[in-house]
Structures are given as C-alpha cells and as structure tokens.
Amino acid sequence: MDGRDKPGHDAEAYFKETSVSGKLRIGLMSALTIAALALGVGRAAALSFDDISGRWCGSVSSYTFTPSTLVVNIYADHSRREYPIDSYQYDGNVITVNWERNGDKLFTKFSEFDADARTMVQQPNDAGPRRAFRRCSQ
C-alpha cells in the first residue's frame, strides 16, 4: 500500500508531485552529463592507435604517427625528421609514444584528446614542451 488508495488521498496532487520530482531528476541528470562532458570525461572508449595515427598540426611543427615511425615536419626551416617508434602505451586518457633519436630512447606523452579525436596535447618533458595539436586537413 502506498497511500494512494486511502480515503481522502488526492490522486491528482500525487501525480503532480511525482511529475515535478521526475522533471527535477531529469534536469539534474542532464546537468551532470553536461558537466562531465565539459571536464573531458566524455570518452567512453579507451584510447587506441586509431586516436593518434595520422597527421597532426601544431603551431611550430606537424607530427605524423605510423605504427613504426614518427615523422616531424618543422615549419620554420621546412625540415623533415623521421624517428623510429619502439611502442605505444595506452593508459586511461594518455598515449605514451616510445621513440628513438640518435640512439637515445625517449618518450612523449599525449593526452587531452577531445571526444571526436580532433585535438590533443603533447605533455611537457625533457624531449619537448607542452604543445597543442589538431588533426590536419587532408
């Protein structure tokens, strides 16, 4: 018994109350979803090679990722550099690229991938500073 069948109970008031609380619940869930997307937790799937593969344009250079090679094109002097990639590591919202330059084993971390994989950020480390990248138009 939930009280709706008791004498003197106003069924119309009950249904209005549940309708209002339902609308509040939907509004709250919508606000939480929007907040989660704004904080960058909108990616439901884990990152993979598909998220980083291809050509990315930054402010001073472009990167092209293949399974075994990192190609860096420097805008200032129009130079092209190729570096062997040893492996990719996928950890949550971070992709770590393990690569070599002149025999030195280096790594660069990329994160802040947007939901449609159009932008990412190179995280700063000894191999380079923080840099934002976007997918290059083909």
For 23-81, the pLDDT digits (tens) are 655 654 554 444 444 444 445 578 999 999 999 999 999 999 999 999 999 999 999 99
Residue 40 three-state SS = coil
If you count them, how many residues does the chain have? 138
Q: Looking at 31-35, 96-100, 124-128, which range is the least confident one? A: 31-35
The single-letter code of the amino acid at 121 is V
CA dist., res. 20 & res. 39, Å (int): 29
Residue 40: CB partners within 8 Å, gap ≥ 6? 93, 112, 114
Neighbours of 36 (CB within 10 A): 11
Structural contact between residues 100 and 108, judged by C-beta atoms closer than 8 angstroms: no
Q: What is the DSSP letter of 117?
A: S
Q: What is the mean pLDDT of the chain?
A: 81
Strand segments (E) across the chain: 54-57, 61-65, 69-74, 79-91, 94-101, 104-111, 119-122, 131-135
Q: Looking at 14-18, 52-56, 96-100, 132-136, which range is the least confident one? A: 14-18
Backbone angles phi, psi at 22, to 5 degrees: -65, -40
Q: Which CATH architecture has domain 49-135?
A: Beta Barrel (2.40)
The residue written with tokens 């919508």 in the block is 30
Q: What is the DSSP letter of 122?
A: E
Backbone angles phi, psi at 124, to 5 degrees: -70, 145
Residue 20 has pLDDT above 90, yes or no: no
pLDDT value, residue 41: 47
